[in-house]
Amino acid sequence: MIYVQEVVTRDGFQNEGHFVPTNKKIELINKLSKVGLNKIEVTSFVSPKAVPNLRDAEEVMDGINRNPNITYSALVPNLIGARRAVECEVDEINLLVSASNTHNLKNVNYTTEQTFEKFNEIIDYLSNKKISINGSLGTSFGCPFEGQIPAEHILNLIEKYFELGVFNITLADTTGMAIPNQVYNLCTKIINEFPTINITLHFHNTRGMGLANVLEGIRAGINRFDSSLGGLGGCPFAPGATGNICTEDLVHMLYFMGYKMTVNLDKLVNVAKYLQEIIPWELDGQVIKSGKITDLHPR
């Protein structure tokens, strides 16, 4: 069973060149809630000044119709964000720290160490609430400033999350630097060392290796993947390059490889086509252009 976790309205819209209207976000999430996805990262409770595209976090969280089979998650950078997310009764709070110290400093002006210290107060605050916590590690497969991140460092940071009682962890390839055999090797190490932790892989397709990396993750034993409808979600360091791995292309591949998923490919592709209607430029997703491999032409 492969779990497909949608991030388009957070990671996708966050990086868009324009603000997607709140009602369009809600409409999109409501459609996504009907296709069998396992998780939807709805938004980020971040400062509206820092990420103006997601300034409507409360309105979106409060406006959607929730499907009880889906975990509705939100990214939270600090205690203020956590309070806002709790107000909106999110199912899961997603914490984020960059494995790369340099990247973390550029991103939130704290060292990786300092960010972990700040997680303490968030986790204390959440301790008596029925909200899951996911811990994300940005730049897990490489940093655009520091380059390679040693596997040992990633294992240490997972240990830190583990000590905080966070057992769901996302390895995020923030700027699309993961290489297939690196994915296999790192995931194998982590699974051996932390067999009880649930790992999610979050890939970007910045250098075209996204789906190849997914397959190496699966070979290593990972079965949770973040992806973004239409492949939305750019990277400020690679203008014009593709964004997150594309949900419908991912599901298309895994479906025809025979993997079991709860997501319905046809319904998902239809929502991707709807997304193309509300986004003013051509999406990177391929299957919405090419059709499924079973969509045959008349002889």
Residues with catalytic annotation? 235
Instruction: Kindly write out the interface string for residues 129-148 of this chain, putting x where it contacts its own copies by CB under 8 A and - elsewhere.
Output: -------------x-xxxx-
Please select the residue that binds its own copies; options are 209, 232, 251, 265, rule is CB under 8 A. Answer: 209
The Cα 54–Cα 47 span in angstroms is: 9
Q: Which two tokens stand for residue 110?
A: 């704290």
Identify residues 41-80 at the interface with its own copies (CB under 8 A).
none
The Cα 119–Cα 200 span in angstroms is: 19
Please select the residue that binds its own copies; options are 177, 186, 263, 275, rule is CB under 8 A. Answer: 177
Per DSSP, 70 falls in state S
Phi, psi of 171 (to 5 degrees): -95, 110
Q: Cβ atoms within 10 A of the Cβ of 175, count? A: 23
Phi, psi of 94 (to 5 degrees): -105, 115
Residue whose CB is less far from its own copies, 48 or 208: 208
Q: Select from 127-135, 149-157, 193-201, 212-220 the region that touches its own copies (CB under 8 A).
A: 212-220
For residue 171, how far is the Cα from the chain centroid?
A: 9
The Cα 204–Cα 149 span in angstroms is: 17
CB of 254 to its own copies, least distance (A): 10
Residue whose CB is less far from its own copies, 73 or 107: 107
Compute and round to an integer the Cα radius of gyration of the chain. Answer: 18
CB of 60 to its own copies, least distance (A): 28
The Cα 188–Cα 195 span in angstroms is: 10
CB of 209 to its own copies, least distance (A): 5
186 binds its own copies (CB under 8 A): no
Q: Select from 14-22, 24-32, 150-158, 172-180 the region that touches its own copies (CB under 8 A).
A: 172-180
Instruction: Say how many residues touch its own copies, by CB under 8 A.
Output: 49
Q: Which two tokens stand for residue 158?
A: 């997972």
Q: Are 157 and 112 in contact (CB under 8 A)?
A: yes
Q: Are 268 and 285 in contact (CB under 8 A)?
A: no
Which residues, other chains included, contact 178 with Cβ-Cβ below 8 Å and sequence gap of 6+? Answer: 140, 141, 142, 203, 209, 213
291 binds its own copies (CB under 8 A): yes
Identify residues 267-286 at the interface with its own copies (CB under 8 A).
282, 285-286
Q: Select from 70-78, 84-92, 122-130, 202-210 the region that touches its own copies (CB under 8 A).
A: 202-210
206 binds its own copies (CB under 8 A): yes
Identify residues 229-258 at the interface with its own copies (CB under 8 A).
235, 237-242, 246, 249, 252-253, 256-258
Residue whose CB is less far from its own copies, 214 or 268: 214
What beta strand segments (E) does the chain contain? Answer: 3-6, 39-44, 71-75, 92-98, 132-138, 168-172, 198-202, 224-227
123 binds its own copies (CB under 8 A): no
Residues near its own copies, by CB under 8 A: 102, 142, 144-147, 176-177, 179-181, 205-209, 211-212, 214-216, 235, 237-242, 246, 249, 252-253, 256-258, 282, 285-287, 289-294, 296-299
